[in-house]
Structures are given as structure tokens and as C-alpha cells.
Amino acid sequence: MGALTNQVAIVTGASRGIGKAIALSLAQEGVKVVACARDEGKLAEVMSASEEAGAAGKIIPTRLDVTSRSEIDAVVEQVVGAHERIDILVNNAGITRDGLLMNMEDDQFEDVLTTNLRSVFWLTRAVSRLMVRARRGRIINISSISGLMGNAGQSNYAASKAAVVGFSKSTAKELAKRGITCNVVAPGFVETEMTDKMGEEVKKSCKTMIPMRRFGESAEVASAVTFLAGAGASYITGQVLVVDGGLCM
């Protein structure tokens, strides 16, 4: 039995990459994970991977497009109906639509803000109502070092990820007295489909700037999230835990 047995988590963007690793890591600790994304085929693969790792029945694949407030509210209602509790919320779903500021289209900016920021507001608002009644809860939002340092070609993405930090600190201040913590994990470069788009040459030059000289693995981000969800992080709130091999220090 894992340390978090019988707790219930919602993890967005759980069909691949970092979100998948987070879902699997929490399931390994005994958490019932409502694993949300649009690609139901990929979510089924996450469920199988969890079963193979000895955590059968812990992943609950759930179709959710986080750009839809009504879908978010319906999923939260469905989880409460089925489990009567939500202990952990991990807002991980995110997209990039990179481009230089001067050429950036309105929809490039709006799409990134809606997926990466509005969804965090909608989900946190819905779930916090339940957590406040329970007087307990852990909210973990995935930002990025782009939101801390800025990155050329990512004004939309960096704006959304910096906003997640301000949103999380405000949420932490509002909810601390109700026994709820809210923290941020800010990954650096991590090997996923998101960074596959960069191409080998760009990746190589990025690695020269990283003190540890390599990209991170999704599991290395997941272990930071699992720590913040666990008993060992009970007195930590409003913090940004950077997981980047030393790039941003």
C-alpha cells in the first residue's frame, strides 16, 4: 500500500509526457487518479501501464478538453458523485504555439492562454469549493522556466506560465487557513512530444546551457509533484519548485 492510499486526484494532460508520469507516480502511491485528456486511446495505454506496474484499478481514464468550462464542471461533478472527495489537483495540460511576437496571431495567443491559464482557473475554482468544505487539499500547477526567465518565440506561452505562478501564490494565500496548499512545479527542458518539436540541433545547443548537460525525464518532474502531494510537504505552500538540471538559478 502506498503512502497516499484512498486519496483521489485529478490530473490533466495525463495522456502522455509529464502528465502521464505524474498519473503513474501517484497511482503507485495508492492514489485513485482521474486521468484526464482528449485522447482516450492514449489514456487507455496509461491505464495498462499502471496495471503492469502493479497499480491495477488506480487510473480512471476520463475524456476532458480543458478549454471547455462546461466539460470541466461536469468532470468535477462526476468525480464528486463517484468518489465524494478530491484530495489532489494537478493542473498539467499545456500547449505551445510558438512564434515571434511581431508575427503572432491573436488566436495563437488566445489558444495558449485558454489551455494553459483559463483551464487552471476553472478547475481550481471548481475543485477548491470541495476542498474548502473538506478542509484539506493539495493543488499543484505545472508552470515552466519560460514563465520565470522568458523565452524568445514564446511570449504567449511565457505569459501563461508566469500567470500560473501569480495565480498559484494568490490561491495559496486564500486557501492556507483551510488546510489547502497550492504550489507550482516549473520544469526546464524535459524529453516529451512538446520538446521533440525543437529539432536535434536546437536541443544540442540547449543542453550546453544546462549545468547537468541533459534534458530531464518526465519521471523526474513527476517525483517533485508526488512529493508536494505527500505528507512530507504539509507545511509548504505558495512555492515554485524548479526542476531543470540547474538551468535557472
Shortest Cβ 34–ligand NAP spacing (Å) = 13
Among the candidate windows 62-70, 121-129, 170-178, 225-233, which touches ligand NAP by CB under 6 A? 62-70
Write a three-state SS string for 27-41.
HHCCCEEEEEECCHH
Shortest Cβ 13–ligand NAP spacing (Å) = 3
Window 166-185: residues binding ligand NAP (CB under 6 A): none
Residue 13 in contact with ligand NAP, rule: CB under 6 A: yes
From the list 123, 65, 114, the residue with the least C-alpha distance to 91 is 123
Q: How many residues bind ligand NAP (CB under 6 A)?
A: 30
Residue 16 in contact with ligand NAP, rule: CB under 6 A: yes
Please give the grid coordinates belonging to residue 45: 495505454
Distance CA 146, CA 126 (A): 27
Class of residue 49 by CB neighbours under 10 A (exposed 0-12, middle 13-18, buried 19+): middle
Distance CA 230, CA 216 (A): 22
Among the candidate windows 51-59, 80-88, 124-132, 188-196, which touches ligand NAP by CB under 6 A? 188-196
Distance CA 241, CA 34 (A): 24
Which residues are tagged catalytic? 157
Binding site for ligand NAP (CB under 6 A): 12-19, 37-39, 42, 64-67, 92-95, 115, 142, 144, 187, 189-190, 192-195
